[in-house]
A and B are shown apart, each in its own frame.
Chain A
Amino acid sequence: GQQVMQIPQYQHVQEGEDFTTYCNSSTTLSNIQWYKQRPGGHPVFLIQLVKSGEVKKQKRLTFQFGEANKNSSLHITATQTTDVGTYFCAGKRYSSASKIIFGSGTRLSIRP
């Protein structure tokens, strides 16, 4: 079946350092969505990428969809304490009508 893996599982950084999480799918995806979940909260939608090679930015966050539509990355520049949480990617195969599969997530913690 479809698998979506994320690395690393955990990342602990000093405030101000950069952070990157990678998302890799075993199958080609029609799109990638990214979500953030604060501790004790629920996932909140951040962005969607639909085109091969697409790059989108939201302030300090940069999202990229790989050329082969099988991987994606989220990069945060100069982390702040408000960035703490778990970041999930989610994708859907071209052949799947509606099944959206989430990655295992990367938990980001930050030293002030």
Chain B
Amino acid sequence: NAGVTQTPKFQVLKTGQSMTLQCAQDMNHEYMSWYRQDPGMGLRLIHYSVGAGITDQGEVPNGYNVSRSTTEDFPLRLLSAAPSQTSVYFCASSFRGQSDQPQHFGDGTRLSIL
């Protein structure tokens, strides 16, 4: 099993460009989430999904869109990139049951906006 796979690993964009960060998991996890990590800020939740067709906002959703058409995939879209979105982005997934399950993280996407 590959676990959680994120692509690309690195990306440089110009202000105003759009792009999609891909996230796929092969563990049949219902719960998937996107975090951004900035120095000294920890991991901040952008959007999350508890199953196919269901998404919700996290702490810092502005400037990002998500969709969950399948259990396996949870892409994150930047509609019009801004320098403030320069960050490391992590996708995570877990089972969703009566109690919380550990989140499995991808290797991250390092995104720079010029």
Contact = CB atoms under 8 A, between A and B. Distances in A.
Interface string A31-44: 10101000001111
Counting chain A residues whose Cβ lies within 8 A of the other chain, the interface size class is: 20 to 34
Interface in B59-89: 59
Contacts of B56: 97-99
Given A102-B43, A103-B42, A42 B90 contact: yes
Contacts of A42: 90, 105-108
Interface of A: 1, 6, 9, 30-31, 33, 35, 41-45, 48, 50, 88, 90, 92, 97-105
A45 B103 contact: yes
Contacts of B35: 102
B102 A33 contact: yes
A104 B41 contact: yes
Interface of B: 31, 33, 35, 40-45, 48, 50, 56, 58-59, 90, 92, 96, 99-100, 102-108
Contacts, number: 62
A99 B43 contact: no
A92 B104 CA distance: 17
Contacts of B108: 42
Contact of B43 (A1, A31, A48, A88): A88
Contacts of B33: 100
A98 B40 contact: no
A104 B42 contact: yes
B43 A98 contact: no
A48 B100 contact: yes
30 contacts: A1-B59, A6-B42, A31-B100, A33-B100, A33-B103, A42-B105, A42-B107, A42-B108, A43-B92, A43-B103, A45-B102, A45-B103, A48-B102, A88-B43, A90-B103, A92-B100, A98-B48, A98-B56, A99-B45, A99-B58, A100-B33, A100-B48, A100-B100, A100-B103, A102-B35, A102-B43, A102-B44, A104-B41, A104-B42, A105-B43
